């Protein structure tokens, strides 16, 4: 009789962690360990920095945070009997802090692998706190009176070799996995904190699949899920692949605190298939300390058939629309419970932006109730007064969502009716407030102070702004009285050019759509009206919103004010923003690109709009600095705290704009 197959059950967990929430994070990790043991798992991969939380920011440099992380690790270790498990935490070694993963087996800490490639672009600032571990270096660090290996090491656990790529390590050209393959590693664990962004799912899966194929391994990828620290949203997306074949994947955007996927793999088969490759030339000698030997006996694992399925919406034509709905909904739900707020308040104008925010709140509760059940959703929101008495989803929405339409003399019946229609369709508690008397009172005060009347020809912007600002105190009052979170409703296109009133439509504690451009938002609302996300369906009442031209409705009706009339077509504005800010093109280069992309517009009109964009972008950086925290949804956002840094004071591109004007004058 030949030797038995070497079968082992591997698993990856998604965890909804919170920075510095030691009790909550530990509870989620313990749940994952219990599920793994009950399922007969031999190797469990947990997410990056799961003990402390990924978003601790400068607190990673706190000695108490570093000490507590090790204390929690020691508390968790006894729960790994019969298991090999990885735990992410910050580790202090030789006066430097490292982003590390601890490998624990049978209740004992066996060593640390430290991250080599730190994420330091865009939303990430890891080099501010951590040092990159140098390639090929190893050492010993003292933990609880004992010395354990740390650095560029792998582990041999019960004749199965285990190595690590930690998140960004897998996204670089010289992946550690290539070296691990030469060392004949069987399983690569990737503990990640990989934030959601549009289009990122496919890139992530290619990295996992290609890693498993090229390195001849079983690749186990774990990730965070939910709104961990306020801005980044994690979609979960745990993955297990072997030999270039995807064996298991988790449901994305889950509202559960803990989820786990697993697969049984044949290590001998993976080894033999990699050995067939003529290009594979393994290391025949190991450097001292490179491989840490860990005595361990894995639980028996039977052969299991792999049936990989994923929700239909993941492969449907409306993937971006579904992702937007689910990502922001999950972000809002987690923000509500982690901030201990009692609900949401929205100034609902009847336009696209505020209607989108209101719909996203209602969908957050709908998704939660659909996945967790009404009782499960209420349990996660048990801090909210009266939530236990909500016997159905409409009751839950009404308890948690308050909308207010605030009219001035320039508000029209169309927007009033649209706001009421959307609020009723969602089940929100809706109020209508007439704030015109407040506007006139401020106008009277200013005229007395200035000694003259205010008029639209001379004081246009000031008269528009006071209307928007007058609306803020009332909704702030509603939010404060009820202990709720006021949501700002400004979008990315407005942020680019400062087409928003500070302390007006930007007022709020959270700005959920500040990362979404207006053209896409309007397209998404049309999709939501007609189709809607799988499982929840459409919101037909949005027809009253989608039929309108976007307008601030702050000038007299006779002036027929529209957003695009004040600025430029939104589709063009967004294209200019991507070229000028994302791609760092000069005004002249932007003009040449826009001429090719938008041939229907006259060349000189494009010059006017491009000059307007660059000047407005430059002078309104202070507004972007003051925006309430926004969700990071697109890896090219304008948020100065997570992506796009720009000086508050600058020369305003005057030389570059003069170059554009001179060039186009010559052509004409």
Residues 584 and 633 in one domain: yes
Which tens digits make up the pLDDT trace of 462-509?
A: 999 999 999 999 999 999 999 999 999 999 999 999 999 999 989 999
What pLDDT, on the 0 to 100 scale, is given for residue 3? 52
Helix (H, G, I), strand (E, B) or coil at 179: helix
Residue 3 lies inside a defined structural domain of this protein = no
Look at the chain and report how many structural domains it folds into: 3
Of 563, 580, 612, which residue is a domain's last? 563
H or E segment to which residue 521 belongs? helix 518-530
H or E segment to which residue 86 belongs? strand 84-93
Residues 71 and 139 in one domain: yes
Question: Six-digit token pair at 78?
Answer: 């006894």
How far CA 430 is from CA of 419, 478, 490, in Å, comes to 9, 12, 20
Residues 155 and 246 in one domain: yes
CATH number at residue 662: 3.40.50.620
Residue 1 lies inside a defined structural domain of this protein = no
> What does pLDDT average to in each consecutive run of 10 residues of the chain (668 residues)?
73 98 98 97 98 98 98 98 97 98 97 97 94 96 94 95 97 95 96 97 97 96 98 97 96 98 94 70 75 91 74 94 98 98 97 97 98 98 97 97 95 95 98 96 97 95 94 97 97 94 94 96 98 98 94 77 90 97 97 97 96 98 96 91 93 96 80
Count CB-CB contacts under 10 A for residue 276: 8
Of 248, 278, 310, which residue is a domain's last? 310
Residue 648 lies inside a defined structural domain of this protein = yes
Residues 247 and 394 in one domain: no
Q: What single-letter DSSP state applies at residue 169?
A: G
Residues 45 and 168 in one domain: yes
How far CA 43 is from CA of 51, 112, 294, 446, in Å, comes to 18, 16, 13, 70
Residues 159 and 259 in one domain: yes
- Asked if residues 435 and 475 have their Cβ atoms less than 8 Å apart, the reply is no
How far CA 428 is from CA of 360, 376, 402, 534, in Å, comes to 12, 21, 6, 22
In terms of residue numbers, what domain contains 656? 568-668
What pLDDT, on the 0 to 100 scale, is given for residue 276? 66
Per the rule left: phi > 0, alpha: psi between -120 and 50, beta: everything else, 122 is left
Residues 257 and 368 in one domain: no
Q: What single-letter DSSP state applies at residue 146?
A: E
The alpha-carbon radius of gyration of the chain (Å, integer) is 28
Strand 233-235 to 218-227 pairing: antiparallel
Residue 333 lies inside a defined structural domain of this protein = yes
Of 563, 580, 609, which residue is a domain's last? 563
Dihedrals φ, ψ of 450, to 5°? -85, -20
Residues 184 and 304 in one domain: yes
Q: Which of 286, 169, 222 is nearest to 41 (CA)?
A: 222
Residues 618 and 482 in one domain: no
Residue 205 lies inside a defined structural domain of this protein = yes
Residue 501 lies inside a defined structural domain of this protein = yes
């Amino acid at each position: 009789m030949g030797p038995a197959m070497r079968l082992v059950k591997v698993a990856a967990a998604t965890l909804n962690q919170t920075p510095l929430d030691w009790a909550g994070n530990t509870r989620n990790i313990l749940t994952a360990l219990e599920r793994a043991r009950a399922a007969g798992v031999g190797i469990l991969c947990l997410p990056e920095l799961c003990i402390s939380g990924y978003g601790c920011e400068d607190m990673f440099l706190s000695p108490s945070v570093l000490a507590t992380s090790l204390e929690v690790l020691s508390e968790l270790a006894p729960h790994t009997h019969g298991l090999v498990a990885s735990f992410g935490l910050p580790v202090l070694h030789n006066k430097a802090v490292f982003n590390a993963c601890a490998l624990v087996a049978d209740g004992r800490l066996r060593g640390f692998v430290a991250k080599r490639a730190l994420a330091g672009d865009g939303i990430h600032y890891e080099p501010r706190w951590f040092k990159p571990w140098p390639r090929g270096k190893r050492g010993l660090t003292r933990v609880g009176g004992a010395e354990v290996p740390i650095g560029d090491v792998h582990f041999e656990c019960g004749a199965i070799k285990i190595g690590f790529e930690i998140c960004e390590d897998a996204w670089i050209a010289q992946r550690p996995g290539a070296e691990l393959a030469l060392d004949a590693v069987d399983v690569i664990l990737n503990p990640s904190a990989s934030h959601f962004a549009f289009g990122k799912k496919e890139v992530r899966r290619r990295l996992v699949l290609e890693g498993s194929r090229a390195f001849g391994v079983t690749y186990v990828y774990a990730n965070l899920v939910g709104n961990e620290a306020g801005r980044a949203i994690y979609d979960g997306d745990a993955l297990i692949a072997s030999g270039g074949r995807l064996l298991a994947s988790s449901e994305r955007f889950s509202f559960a605190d803990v989820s786990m996927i697993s697969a049984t793999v044949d290590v001998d088969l993976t080894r033999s298939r990699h050995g067939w490759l003529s290009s594979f030339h393994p290391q025949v000698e190991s450097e001292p300390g490179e491989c840490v030997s860990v005595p361990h006996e894995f639980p028996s694992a039977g052969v299991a058939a792999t049936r990989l399925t994923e929700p239909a919406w993941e492969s449907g034509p409306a993937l971006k629309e579904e992702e937007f709905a689910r990502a922001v909904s999950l972000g809002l739900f987690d923000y509500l419970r982690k901030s201990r707020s009692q609900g949401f308040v929205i100034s609902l104008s009847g336009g696209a932006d505020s209607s989108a925010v209101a719909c996203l709140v209602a969908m957050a509760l709908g998704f939660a109730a659909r996945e967790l059940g009404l009782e499960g959703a209420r349990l996660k929101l048990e801090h909210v007064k009266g939530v236990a008495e909500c016997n159905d989803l409409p009751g839950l929405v009404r308890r948690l969502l308050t909308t207010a339409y605030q009219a001035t003399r320039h508000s029209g019946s169309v927007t009033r009716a649209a706001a009421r229609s959307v609020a009723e369709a969602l089940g929100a508690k809706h109020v209508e407030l007439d704030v015109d008397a407040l506007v006139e009172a401020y106008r009277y005060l200013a005229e007395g102070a200035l000694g003259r009347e205010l008029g639209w020809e001379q004081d246009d912007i000031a008269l528009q702004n006071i209307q928007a600002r007058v609306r803020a105190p009332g909704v702030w009052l509603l939010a404060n009285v009820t202990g709720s979170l006021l949501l700002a409703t400004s979008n990315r296109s407005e942020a680019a050019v400062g087409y928003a009133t500070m302390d007006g439509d930007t007022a709020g504690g959270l700005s959920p759509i500040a990362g979404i451009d207006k053209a896409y938002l309007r397209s998404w609302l049309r999709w939501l009206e007609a189709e809607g996300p799988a499982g929840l369906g459409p919101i037909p009442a949005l027809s009253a919103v989608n039929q309108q031209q976007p307008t601030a409705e702050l000038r007299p009706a006779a002036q027929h004010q529209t957003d695009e009339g004040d600025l430029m077509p939104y589709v063009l504005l967004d294209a200019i923003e991507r070229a000028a800010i994302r791609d760092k093109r000069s005004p002249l280069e932007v003009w040449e690109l826009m001429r090719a992309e938008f041939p229907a517009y006259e060349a000189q009109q494009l010059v006017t709009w491009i000059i307007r964009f660059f000047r407005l972008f430059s002078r309104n950086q202070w507004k972007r600095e003051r925006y309430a925290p926004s969700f990071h949804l697109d890896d090219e956002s304008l948020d100065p705290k997570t992506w796009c840094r720009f000086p508050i004071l600058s020369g305003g591109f005057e030389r570059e704009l003069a170059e554009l004007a001179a060039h186009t004058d010559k052509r004409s």
